[in-house]
A and B are shown apart, each in its own frame.
Chain A
Amino acid sequence: AQSVTQPDIHITVSEGASLELRCNYSYGATPYLFWYVQSPGQGLQLLLKYFSGDTLVQGIKGFEAEFKRSQSSFNLRKPSVHWSDAAEYFCAVGSVRQGAQKLVFGQGTRLTINP
């Protein structure tokens, strides 16, 4: 069965600092991988996705993520955070064989930005 672990429940960084949010997945083959962001009181919005090809993927709002098969990881990064990046971030995995028909989500990482 697929599973996703986000080891950090809450991270605090200063505005302008770099950010890395960790995501580890368990899946028997190459999965489809996603990062979603949830602002307070809102639904989830897709930041970026990995299906195949280049292991470094670019997303919206200046985010990027790198797929590392050997480490079963798909960490999200941003070189310089802005106060508006404060939100909850979810990593998700989908089955390639099933066309990502269903997604399994991690527990989420809440990001706080210090001014």
Chain B
Amino acid sequence: NAGVTQTPKFRILKIGQSMTLQCTQDMNHNYMYWYRQDPGMGLKLIYYSVGAGITDKGEVPNGYNVSRSTTEDFPLRLELAAPSQTSVYFCASRASGQGSYEQYFGPGTRLTVT
């Protein structure tokens, strides 16, 4: 049982490049989330999904896109990378049943845009 996996672990992008951060969970969770973590700022929600085919914006969605074609996968797309997107990105998932409120986090992707 791998839980939540993220690839890559590290990436350096040039300004204007695009990339996709991959997230996969094997717990059959309906809810999935993307956060970014900047130093001293805690975690900010970028996008989330309550099931396959359903996504919604979080607090800081600008510059990002997501899709959810399967229960397992929730990729995050950066189309035109900007230095402001330098951050650590975490994917998380949780079950949807009553009382199943714990979010399980992946190990993160450290992205630098120069």
Contact = CB atoms under 8 A, between A and B. Distances in A.
A25 B1 CA distance: 35
Interface string B85-114: 000001010000011011101111000000
A32 B101 contact: yes
Contacts of A46: 102-103
B41 A107 contact: yes
Contacts of B90: 43-44
Nearest to A44: B105
B42 A43 contact: no
A103 B94 CA distance: 12
Give the interface residue-count category, chain B: 20 to 34
B101 A43 contact: no
A9 B105 contact: no
Nearest to A46: B102
B101 A94 contact: yes
Interface in A36-53: 36, 41-46, 49, 51
A26 B98 CA distance: 24
Given A43-B106, A90-B43, A101 B99 contact: no
A49 B4 contact: no
A45 B40 contact: no
Q: Determine which residue in A43, A45, A46 has the highest number of CB atoms from chain B within 10 A of its CB, and name it.
A: A43
24 contacts: A4-B42, A34-B101, A34-B102, A41-B108, A42-B107, A43-B4, A43-B90, A43-B105, A43-B108, A44-B92, A44-B105, A46-B103, A49-B101, A51-B101, A90-B43, A94-B101, A101-B31, A102-B33, A102-B48, A103-B103, A105-B43, A107-B41, A107-B42, A108-B42
Interface of A: 4, 9, 32, 34, 36, 41-46, 49, 51, 90, 94, 99-103, 105-108
Interface of B: 4, 31, 33, 35, 40-45, 48, 50, 58, 90, 92, 98-99, 101-103, 105-108
